Amino acid sequence: MKVLIGLSGGVDSSVAALLLKQQGNDVIGATMSIWKDRPDITFENNKSCTHGACFGPDEKEDIESARNIANKIGIPYHVFRCADEYESIVLNNFKDEYLSGRTPNPCIRCNALVKFGVLPYLAKENGIEFDKFATGHYVRIEEKDGRYLLKRAKDPKKDQSYFLYKLKQDQLKNIVFPLGDYTKEQIRKIASDNDLAVADKPDSQDFYEGDYNELLGVKSKKGNIVTTDGKVLGEHNGIWNYTIGQRKGLCISAPEPLYVLELRKDTNEVVVGYKDKTFKKSLKAIDLNWIAIDKLEKPMNVTAKIRSTQTPVEATITPVDDDCVEVVFDDYQKSIAVGQSVVFYDGDYVIGGGIIDSVA
């Protein structure tokens, strides 16, 4: 089987490529370059780039790392420029959401539309033939009665199903995830045993390891930090500098610690309150994607996550309309952020998920 694998230059995708090769597959490595103005990188596709700043100082090093791994394993390797698509699909949405007082998760959007969309598309457009697309994500796929199901990884500490809930059936049927049954420790050992230089390379912690203001490209906009009843406690330089649940860095004094409760774009206010005000029990989600079912037709008991690191908790989801569900948790949840994703599970299986649109 011919498999195109997305190589990031890290240990996970490197070992995934190695495992696929050891299984007898015809493996091809590919990396997407997502930052503009990179004359120091040779691309497989010759798409032009005429503007933009280089926000990815480590991208060249990651690409060279991926190229070295491909050479070590003995597989062909290609780099594709995806900067225009990444800007229009991910960065513009990231900017719009943050400036609107919402907290987006760009990695989820990037996975579904760029990494598992644009990258394999560009590879085929440039004449690379393959049967399946692979990555180094810790997650599993299972086929049942013609439907492709997304499952949590065997290692719950590394499970990345939360980030992949937007994948469609036509994507899932053409994807393989070699690492779903492994722990991170096992993967690092495989890398070490096979003399891969990335065996001890630290994991990437965010989609952009720098100041978000560089990406937003906006000037400061002073406004008030207020309580829920409108009392002014201080000033801020832009609501995009804050996240729901934030406690540190508020630069205001109070008898007890204060937390960010709400970001109001219309009045340019950061609303704060004490810890008890951070707990909510329900939300509404939109922009839904269903994996285990065609659509939600009646209330369903599930477990749900409102952030990637959370252990799934008991909840009931009820359809509001075709693209909106209400989620009521059995127990109160802390700091539910509008713009983030909520993902629904049935045991290890991902039912689906959506974008948090409101909280109550």
Whether the predicted pLDDT of 50 surpasses 60: no
Mean pLDDT of 91-107: 94
Beta bridge partners of 290: 352
3-state secondary structure of 66: helix
Sequence-distant (≥ 6) Cβ neighbours of residue 58 within 8 angstroms = 209
- Sign, Cα dihedral of 168, 170, 172, 174: negative
- In tens, the pLDDT along 115-137 reads 999 999 999 999 999 999 999 99
Query: What is the pLDDT at residue 203?
Result: 85
Whether the predicted pLDDT of 46 surpasses 90: no
Whether the predicted pLDDT of 343 surpasses 70: yes
Query: What is the pLDDT at residue 209?
Result: 59
- When pLDDT is cut at 50, 70 and 90, the band that residue 206 belongs to is low
Q: Are 299 and 315 in contact (CB under 8 A)?
A: no
Reading the block at residue 59, the tokens are 């991208």
Can you give the length of the chain in residues?
360
C-alpha to C-alpha distances, 337 to 126, 282, 304, nearest whole angstrom: 40, 12, 14
Reading the block at residue 332, the tokens are 């109160």
User: For a pLDDT cut of 70, what percent of the chain falls above it?
Assistant: 92
- Sign, Cα dihedral of 272, 277, 278, 282: negative
Mean pLDDT of 46-57: 35
User: For residues 95 and 54, what is the distance between their CA atoms, to the nearest angstrom?
Assistant: 17
Which range among 32-46, 269-283, 337-351 shows the weakest confidence by mean pLDDT?
Answer: 32-46
Q: Are 223 and 232 in contact (CB under 8 A)?
A: no
- When pLDDT is cut at 50, 70 and 90, the band that residue 101 belongs to is very high
* pTM of the model as a whole: 0.91
Strands 349-359 and 279-290: antiparallel
Q: Are 236 and 222 in contact (CB under 8 A)?
A: yes
- Sign, Cα dihedral of 158, 165, 208, 248: negative
User: For residues 300 and 318, what is the distance between their CA atoms, to the nearest angstrom?
Assistant: 7
User: For residues 325 and 296, what is the distance between their CA atoms, to the nearest angstrom?
Assistant: 8
Reading the block at residue 293, the tokens are 């079912």
Reading the block at residue 342, the tokens are 């909520």
Map tokens 């062909």 to a residue: 76
- When pLDDT is cut at 50, 70 and 90, the band that residue 317 belongs to is very high
- In tens, the pLDDT along 256-311 reads 999 999 999 999 999 999 999 999 999 999 999 999 999 999 999 999 999 999 99
Query: What is the pLDDT at residue 167?
Result: 98
- When pLDDT is cut at 50, 70 and 90, the band that residue 37 belongs to is low
User: For residues 337 and 359, what is the distance between their CA atoms, to the nearest angstrom?
Assistant: 8
Query: What is the pLDDT at residue 218?
Result: 87
Residue whose C-alpha is closest to residue 11's, from 171, 185, 173, 165: 185
User: For residues 313 and 197, what is the distance between their CA atoms, to the nearest angstrom?
Assistant: 39
Amino acid at site 87 = E
- In tens, the pLDDT along 130-165 reads 999 999 999 999 999 999 999 999 999 999 999 999
User: For residues 182 and 178, what is the distance between their CA atoms, to the nearest angstrom?
Assistant: 8
Amino acid at site 264 = R
User: For residues 287 and 340, what is the distance between their CA atoms, to the nearest angstrom?
Assistant: 11
Burial 159-182 (b: 16+ CB within 10 A, else e): bbbbbbbbbeeebbebbbbbbbeb
Map tokens 């994807």 to a residue: 175
Query: What is the pLDDT at residue 54?
Result: 32
CATH numbers and ranges of domains, the chain: 2-193 (3.40.50.620), 219-273 (2.30.30.280), 278-359 (2.40.30.10)
Whether the predicted pLDDT of 234 surpasses 80: yes
